[in-house]
Structure 1
Amino acid sequence: MVIPLMKQAADEPGTDEQGPLRCGAVWDEGAACAVEARRALHAFLAHVPCTGRTPVPAALAIDAELVVSELVTNAIRHAPGPCGMILRLSGDELAITVWDTSTRHPVVRERDGRRFGGHGMHVVHTVSSEVTVTPLGHGKQITACLRPAPGNGADAMIRATSTV
């Protein structure tokens, strides 16, 4: 079951005059799926222009979809129990945090075109400006920060829809 947390924290420091925009989802054990996580991302991105902010650039939205898919899929495959995701937009930075119950840090493997699978964390690191892993008492959280590529103009902006 997904529990939406579409709340804005007014007391959180950020670069937006309005403060950062946040959204979260929590899934019970065995209930998480990458499709549902991508839907939550799409709904979040579709809500951004409704708050008076500039829409997220198309390339950033595509990279965010990859990151959400990879991090949630890893949580499903490698961590028993519940997991969750928090999306946070502050200024032009989109932070995607996924938490799970595994204390094992993810491994970024070298690229190998002959290997099936095991490329997800490499993809996350490639499209993100920063990736951090924070141990928690009951697992870990991984945060990937994405920023638009330099030179993306208004023609690269999209208005996200809630379709997958």
Structure 2
Amino acid sequence: MPLRTHTTTQDRPASLRSSRTWDTGVTSIAEARDAVAALLAQVRPAPGTRSTQDAQLVVSELVTNAAKHAPGPCALRLEVPAGGLVMRITVTDTSTDPPRRRPPDPGRVGGHGLHLVTMLCSDLEVTTLPRGKRVAATVPLTGERAG
């Protein structure tokens, strides 16, 4: 299975980072959620808190979108800067198409992920790259909803 995992804590004293790369597309969304819980367990003693669940939902939605709409390799980077007040989630994929919010439709199955992401994040940034895009979301870890 083409998966590489990297965890570092040396760049900045209290900054925690974790990354995953998939060479042939995402094989397990649960693996991405587990990476969030593992990193936040180093910051907070109770990984079942709402902020952990919010971060897991955001990573789940962003990685699912990459798997669904961008064939080929993708990468996930997680960072909790010094102080542990936010988690920065970055997903890089091979599609240059930016994520688009669909009009709200309670009767529709699917297509609600970006609404959830923007509701839970204090910042969402999309950067077009020469061979894809990078979607970076900042999730507050204070237990309060961003939106």
Matched, 1:3 2:11: no
Q: Which residue of 2 aligns with 1:160?
A: none
Matched residues in 1 for 2:42 and 2:142: separation? 22
Deviation (angstroms), 1:55: 6.2
In the alignment, which residue of structure 1 is the partner of 2:101? 108
| TM-score using structure 2 length | 0.86
Q: Is the 8 A contact 1:9 1:22 kept in 2?
A: no
Q: Which has the higher strand share?
A: 2
1:26 is matched with which residue?
A: 21
Runs of 5+ consecutive residues of structure 1 not aligned to the other structure: 12-17, 153-164
**Structure 1 range deviating more: 71-80 or 141-150:** 141-150
For 1:124, the equivalent position in structure 2 comes to: 117
Q: Provide the alpha-carbon RMSD of the alignment.
A: 2.2
The answer to whether the Cα contact below 8 Å between 1:94 and 1:146 also exists between their aligned partners in 2 is yes
Q: Against the structure 1 CA distance between its residues 56 and 130, is the aligned structure 2 distance closer, same or farther, given a 3 Å change threshold? A: farther
After superposition, the C-alpha distances for 1:87-145 in whole angstroms (9 at most, x for unaligned) are: 00014111111110000000012221011111011110011011000111110010110
Matched, 1:145 2:146: no
Q: Distance in 1 between matches of 2:80 and 2:143?
A: 18
Q: Which runs of 5 or more structure 2 residues have no equivalent in the other structure?
A: none
The one-letter code sitting in structure 1 at the alignment partner of 2:27 is A
Q: What is the Cα deviation at residue 46 of structure 1? A: 2.1
Q: 90, 93, 107: which is aligned to 1:97?
A: 90
Larger radius of gyration: 1
Distance across 2 between alignment mates of 1:151 and 1:134: 27
User: 1:41–1:2: structure 2 CA closer, same or farther, 3 Å change rule?
Assistant: farther
Q: Which has the higher relative contact order, 1 or 2, with Cα contacts under 8 A spaced 6 or more apart?
A: 1
* Equivalent residue pairs, number: 142
Give me the TM-score of the superposition, normalised by structure 1.
0.78
Identity of paired residues, percent? 40
- 137-146 or 31-40: bigger deviation: 31-40
